[in-house]
Amino acid sequence: MKSLHYFKDLFVALIVRPLLQDPFRTAVTVLGVAIGVSVFLGIQLANRQTLASFEESVALVLGRADAVIHAEGQPFDEKYFARLLALRQWVKAYPVIEGHAVEPRSHEVIEILGADLLQDSGIRDFSLKTAEQNLRGLVSLVLDPRGIILPEKFVPGENFKPGDQIDLLINGVETSFNVNAILENKGVARALNGNFALMDIAAAQAVFGKIGKLDRIDVAFLQDRDFARMRKKISATLPDYLRVDRPQRKNRQVEKMLRAFQYNLTALSFVSLLVALYLVYNMIALSVVRRRMEIGVLRALGATPVKVAAIFLLEAAVVGAAGSLLGIGLGYGLAEFSLQAVSLTVSNLYVASHASAIAFHWGQALPYFFLGVGLAVASALIPALEAACTPPTRVMRRGGYDLKVFRGSRGLNRAGGAVFALAGVCALLPAVNRFPFFGFFSVFLIILGLSLLSPSVLALVRRRLAGACKRAFRGEGLLACRNLTQNVGRNAIAVSALATAFMMIVSMSIMVHSFRETVVVWIGQTLKADLFVRPAMGSNIDYQYTLSSRRAGELADIPGVAAVDLFRAINISYQDQPATLASGDFSVVARHANLLMKDGPAANRLARRLTGQNRAIVSEAFSLKHNVGVGCTLALNTPRGKLDLEIAGVYYDYSQERGYIVIDRTTYLRYYGDPQINSFVVYLTDKSERDRVRREIVKRIGGKQKILIRGNAELKREVLRVFDKTFAITYSLEIIAVVVAVLGLLNTLVSLVIERRREIGILRFLGAFKHQVKRMILIEAGLLGLIGSALGLAAGVVVSYILIFVINKQSFGWTIQAHFPYGFIAFTTIGFWLVSCAAGLVPARAAVQQDPMAAVRAE
């Protein structure tokens, strides 16, 4: 007990009191840690909420189903529902129609569930508010062919009550519905964040053109709960192309799909936390230097090295705890912003996302609190151990104390070289379960290598630039240059933080620019059609919206139209992973279009290989994900039997990560019998006729059905607009990393001014003017910013290659050509250096405001 009381007195005297006496430096460090923790927590919460909202919606819609019967990507004949009657003692079956609509005023996509309303409450939880609280109210729900039921919390800004009417776009056709009931805000009504509606199954079949069809059958087990045995019983009554799956299968597939994207965001957010830890190291290092006399006295009086180290580690823990608590609060707000950006990217690349507000409880924050505290303590280990292990006589020697580990020794240089070599080896290793673990580890090693080599770089700059600084800035420049190695430990840490932040900016900028330029080249070479037509709803990767192929096919008779290519795609699974089966007219593709082939015949020879044949081409992402190539065979179960597809080619595609299997339309119709299309493209004989042909298309198709027609240039601009929105979250992470790094430089310079106040006081006694002292600090800030920018630029180029050719390739399966945004990099480098210089303004002002006599007397 006496020992604890003694330790508490030491901690209050050596740590707490100085922290309170230097509020600016304390606040900057705590803020840096808070930003790092908040970014990491915010991204984690956004990722988790995106997936949790999807899983919750699927669970609410499926209700208490134990199994789901479906044909992937398309409806099936309802006669198979009758076959389940033979198993009625074992299962209870519930037929379902799935449809989508768009609410015209809000432009929100609505998922509509068609179910047997008289039976469905046995599997799904919902409670209805009808206009008439009797049997007549229920009759209208079942018999009204335009009856619909909306949740209490419908899409934002839209409030309905029983008896109202609502207009919705169904496959581009505006249809009026009668709101016959409202779902109370519980159970299935909470699905999809309110973007949901319910209809009677007969009405839904008529509205969505699925008379005699079902999209799925939800099954509840009555006796035997073993899924494997029950699946065998059910499958025996059904054709092979109908799958019997667990309800959770869709969640698992989406989770697998999103895993790479979410891991990449997590790794990027961790960089901000890593940069923040440099602040903690710098603070503890300065704390050790400022208390060197007290440390020496304590050691001389018998204090053990463990107790001395514990004092400074506890200081780091206090700062880490304060920063983590503040960061958790900030992280909740940041998560709300991040959720929108993450949801947008998920919707553009993967699956429709209707994420609700962040669900956060303080109990969930404990791991992030301990992470922040633990990393802060880890970052303080080196200065704390140095304080504990240095002999008291050396600690008390005036002007003789500095951290040996950052003196730029040959050992550090050899260690840095070895770390860089290991990073190169890791970059060559394959992914682990499709996650580029070694790629990210390689990036971490490069950051570590930068930190190890920073002292030597500072020494090199001092030797090479001392003369130039003297000639350009006279004595102030010479002193500023020599100060680079006077406090190697803190300067090296500041440079490392700046280099890491700038490395992130440069590498992500090169990667995004390279991806964008690759997409520009890709769409420029592949999008050859003059007009692109699809229903005026959903996004380009939503394949549930269809057009009539008969009416689209008749457009080939329009004067000036050279050809029309009909496109149809359905979402399927291959090897239990999501994929897209697409079809098109390869006779048209061969004559007018162009596909960038990675392997296989040229696009103009594909028609002979694919038309009327059981062959396919696959996208690069599909090829890499499933490790298949030209000559391999894909086995698919279709409504008309088993389809074995020989892969005839692999082509480049950047539209989605799940991958495409593309077959000729004749093959698709033969095995799937689905005449509908999702979109079509029109090739013109004379491009000057585009406006006339567009008007004719609207006249023939767009009378009742709302369609979206884009010209070639319009579609290319739309693709790039979606691309830029998709990467909005990465730009935000870059800016945050820079803010943390600049805080680190500001803290370093303030620390150096505090530590060198005796030196500055002596300079003032020797005749140095205030503006000369201020100029010296600003030049030093500029030199540190210049070194950090140079190191970050060099490392950023290397890391960009790892991002492009390792991490991106292993995560998403896309081949990207490297393109350098030279103008942007030059502008960013200059801007980053100017911001670094500006960080010296506050410590420069503090240096000239201190009293020289008090500064000298302090020593």
| Residue pLDDT, tens place only, 765-777 | 677 777 787 888 8
- Domain identity same for 241 and 262: no
pLDDT score recorded for residue 634: 94
Distance CA 653, CA 545 (A): 22
* Position 839 in a domain: no
Are residues 230 and 334 located together in one domain of the fold? Answer: no
- The answer to whether residues 269 and 320 belong to one domain is yes
* C-alpha–C-alpha distance, residues 31 and 379, integer Å: 16
**pLDDT confidence of residue 854:** 61
Q: CB burial class (10 A; 0-12, 13-18, 19+) of residue 499?
A: buried
Q: How many CB atoms lie within 10 A of CB 100?
A: 20
Share of the chain above pLDDT 70, in %: 81
132 vs 829: CA distance, rounded Å: 69
b/e string for 411-439 if b means 16 or more Cβ within 10 A? ebeeebeebbebbeebbeeebeebbbbbb
Q: Where are the alpha helices (DSSP H) in 487-619?
A: 488-526, 549-553, 586-592, 606-610
Instruction: Say which residues have a Cβ less than 8 Å from residue 415's Cβ, sequence separation at least 6.
Output: 452
What predicted TM-score, i.e. pTM, was given to this entire model?
0.79
Predicted confidence band of residue 665 (pLDDT cuts 50, 70, 90): very high
Buried b (16+ CB within 10 A) or exposed e, 6-25: eeeebbeebbeebbeebeeb
- Classify residue 525: in a domain, yes or no: no
- Cα 54 from Cα 66, distance rounded (Å): 18
Count of domains for the chain: 3
The pLDDT, as a whole number, for residue 151 is 87
Is 531 within the bounds of a domain?
Answer: no
605-626 confidence digits (pLDDT tens) = 888 888 889 999 999 989 988 8
Beta bridge partners of 221: 91
Residue 681 and residue 564 in contact, taking contact as beta carbons nearer than 8 Å: yes
What percent of the chain has pLDDT above 90? 14
pLDDT tens digits, 191-237? 777 788 889 999 999 998 899 999 999 999 988 888 999 999 999 99
Average pLDDT for residues 357-377, to the nearest whole number? Answer: 78
* Better-predicted residue by pLDDT, 717 or 632: 632
**Dihedral over alpha carbons 745, 746, 747, 751 (to 10 degrees):** 100
Task: Look at residue 180 and tell me whether its pLDDT is greater than 60.
Answer: yes
- pLDDT at position 645 is 94
**What is the overall mean pLDDT for the chain?**
80
268 and 139 fall within a common domain = no
Supply the pLDDT for residue 3: 63
In this structure, the answer to whether residues 201 and 288 fall within a common structural domain is no
d(CA 735, CA 742): 11
Q: Is 662 helix (H, G, I), strand (E, B) or coil?
A: strand
The domain boundary, picked from 401, 418, 448, lies at: 401
Rounded distance between C-alpha atoms, residue 294 and residue 296, angstroms: 5
End-of-domain residue from the set 650, 685, 705:
705
Determine the pLDDT at residue 649.
93
Are residues 352 and 232 part of one domain?
no
Any domain includes 730: no
HSE (side-chain half, CA atoms, 13 Å) at 222: 8
Lowest mean pLDDT among 415-424, 629-638, 745-754: 745-754
User: What is the predicted pLDDT for the residue at 664?
Assistant: 93
In a domain, 806, yes or no: no
Identify which has the larger pLDDT, 57 or 499.
Answer: 499
Task: For 244-288, write each residue's pLDDT tens digit.
Answer: 988 887 767 666 666 666 677 777 677 667 766 766 777 777 677
Quote the pLDDT of residue 666. Answer: 92
* 558 inside domain: yes
Q: Do residues 443 and 264 touch, judged by C-beta distance below 8 A? A: no
What is the domain extent for residue 262?
A: 1-62+257-401
Segment 393-413 mean pLDDT? 55
Q: What is the pLDDT of residue 400?
A: 45
Q: Residue 756: CA atoms inside 13 Å, Cβ hemisphere, count?
A: 26
Q: Is residue 787 part of a domain?
A: no
Residue partners of 775: CB distance under 8 A and separation at least 6: 473, 476, 844
- Other Cβ atoms less than 10 A from the Cβ of 546: the count is 19
**Is the pLDDT assigned to residue 405 strictly greater than 60?**
no
pLDDT value at position 318?
86
pLDDT in tens, 545-602: 888 888 787 888 888 888 999 999 988 888 888 889 999 998 888 888 888 899 988 8
Distances (CA, A) of 476 to 379, 462, 508: 33, 14, 37
Q: How confident is the model at residue 324 (pLDDT cuts 50, 70, 90)?
A: confident
- Reference 270, options 736, 728, 731; nearest CA is 736
Do 105 and 238 lie in one domain? The reply is yes
Same domain, residue pair 212 and 145: yes
- Provide the pLDDT confidence category of residue 403 given band limits of 50, 70 and 90: very low
Check whether residue 278 and residue 382 sit in a common domain.
yes
Q: Are residues 205 and 277 in the same domain?
A: no
Listed residues 643, 675, 705: the one ending a domain: 705
Residues 391 and 288 in one domain: yes
Mean pLDDT comparison of 26-35, 665-674, 751-760, highest-scoring range: 665-674
Q: Note whether residue 627 is domain-resident.
A: yes
CB 450 within 8 A of CB 500: yes
pLDDT higher than threshold 70 for residue 401: no
Residues 37 and 11 reside in one and the same domain: yes
Identify the pLDDT of residue 475. Answer: 81
